[in-house]
Structure 1
């Protein structure tokens, strides 16, 4: 929600705050000028942004309040050496917010700053970072490393296998209920997972893991995957996406990976696996339920198609939106 910025008009208070904001500030100082409109986490990030800008201005011996467009451009150029576009954008917005609340003109609106930010947006966002692809080798190593006789390890392997074979997002995994996971087996172990209108037949190995999870957890209805405490007790509520993130973080640590697995790793791995099997991009897109061919093309290394597909959806919006 857009915040209502009303500049401070009390001259005595304004002068006091200018002095205060010319050095490093505390969280309470930021809440004071913004009249507590920002959440704790947002305010804390913006305080850190402002303090970083103050340190830069002091090092360059330039004024922070009001700052010049030249100083802001120099600061942005320094940030580009180590920061992503999204972080730099937040930095600049924080500087803009402080200036506007204190009644100064917004330096980020200067034409040269706008052009620089648009240029950064195109250069830094033109191509997404590729997630580390999950592979069968990763899964086999995890099963050899973790004790899947324990509830948490068994659950985590079941999560990773299911996400990989169904190209699931974290939210879709968390939303799975017992009704979505069907045992089709008669003489052999065979489970399938329904996502929307799509049905995914799990491999025999994954079906066995899922079956063992159901038996061990005693889950017969409601969410399939739930919390497991350190004593092996199974919770009632479904997992949230943060819990799934931690599953992949622990998996990365167990595998000793320098570039960690993430919630996108199963989808990236599924795309690569299907491509290796000779599936077409259209078939891969349908399997992973992607609305656009951009990401599956990116995952399988067809960057030309990925870039063209993104251009179809990308609109040239002002950077500060």
Structure 2
């Protein structure tokens, strides 16, 4: 796992000589935070350190200096979500150095109003991944089964069905092991054990349902590759054999979604799939099936209903009163 202490020169620790309290926080955070969160903090603090160094500013920043930093970020044309995250990193930095409450500029009303104004100017809407729908899974299966199916095609179908059924993130797909999947007692479908995830950093674990179709491609994959333990999804050579360095990465998952999206795209529908398309598509299909928002949130393991509600907005418009009045 990345270590927050590995921060290059001309950053906060070396050029600004921040407190020992900050170093203690970094050490603890390296054990408690996810790798992606650590990477985000490290990048944000490096940028902030360089800014403070060149502006000859020391901590704690004044409210006026923090507002000027927001203007600096806005001039770089960062998206609203990125500026919000960098603001959170700025706040954590001050708190971890002992500059809490009134000494933390991000807690002041003037700073909050400035951030709100930037969000209004740039907009807060984020580009949503193209949903992977059931019709796309069925079309891909049809295209792949018109001739003897290959190992690579089975892996594509397994990845997409797993992502959809279990509403998985890319890293969750990468982390699946053979032993995490079990057949249901009824003989139809199965379950996937997710030992930890973005919203379960402490590793309490959870079980999710897998359809009989997904289990079919799971068994086909095991049979064709001989994989029997360890990581389920493996890299393949050009000849469809398990690669010597066979561990897939989230980049492998991303490229799979992109390639399938290009394959299924038509002039009427451009499918810009990404690693989140399975989660988005499943949320849309569950909304279509009249599933409650609370159930969708629970199934997708979201901490709040905000994201699943956002994913299903377009479908909700299609099912609105006006859509019924003028179809």
Q: For the residues of structure 1 that align with 2:304 and 2:93, how far apart are their CA atoms?
A: 36
Q: Is 2:257 the counterpart of 1:248?
A: yes
Q: For the residues of structure 2 that align with 1:194 and 1:85, how far apart are their CA atoms?
A: 32
SS at match of 1:156: helix
TM-fit CA distance, 1:249: 3.9
- In structure 2, the residue matched to 1:16 is none
Name the CA shift for 1:84/1:184 in 2 (closer, same or farther; >3 Å). Answer: same
Name the CA shift for 1:302/1:86 in 2 (closer, same or farther; >3 Å). Answer: same
- In structure 1, the residue matched to 2:242 is 233
- In structure 2, the residue matched to 1:115 is 112
SS at match of 1:227: strand
The gaps in structure 2 that reach 5 residues or longer are: 31-37, 98-102, 194-205, 317-327
Does the aligned pair in 2 maintain the 1:226–1:235 contact within 8 Å?
A: no
* Rg larger in structure: 1
Between Structure 1 and Structure 2, how many residues are aligned? 265
TM-fit CA distance, 1:54: 9.1
SS at match of 1:159: helix
Q: Is 2:164 the counterpart of 1:156?
A: no
After superposition, where does 1:1-321 map in structure 2 within 5 Å?
Answer: 28-30=9-11, 32-33=14-15, 46-48=45-47, 65=57, 70=64, 73-74=67-68, 76-77=70-71, 79-80=73-74, 82-87=78-83, 89-90=85-86, 108=105, 111=108, 114-116=111-113, 119=116, 130-140=128-138, 142=140, 144=143, 149-173=149-173, 174-178=175-179, 180-182=181-183, 191-195=189-193, 196-203=206-213, 206-231=214-239, 232-234=241-243, 239-255=248-264, 260-290=272-302, 292-301=304-313
The CA RMSD over aligned residues, in Å, is: 5.2
Most deviating of 171-180 and 154-163: 171-180
What TM-score does the superposition give when structure 1 sets the normalisation length? 0.57
What TM-score does the superposition give when structure 2 sets the normalisation length? 0.56
Q: For the residues of structure 2 that align with 1:28 and 1:47, how far apart are their CA atoms?
A: 9
Q: Deviations over 1:249-289 (max 9, x none)?
A: 44445556877433332122112112223434454445445
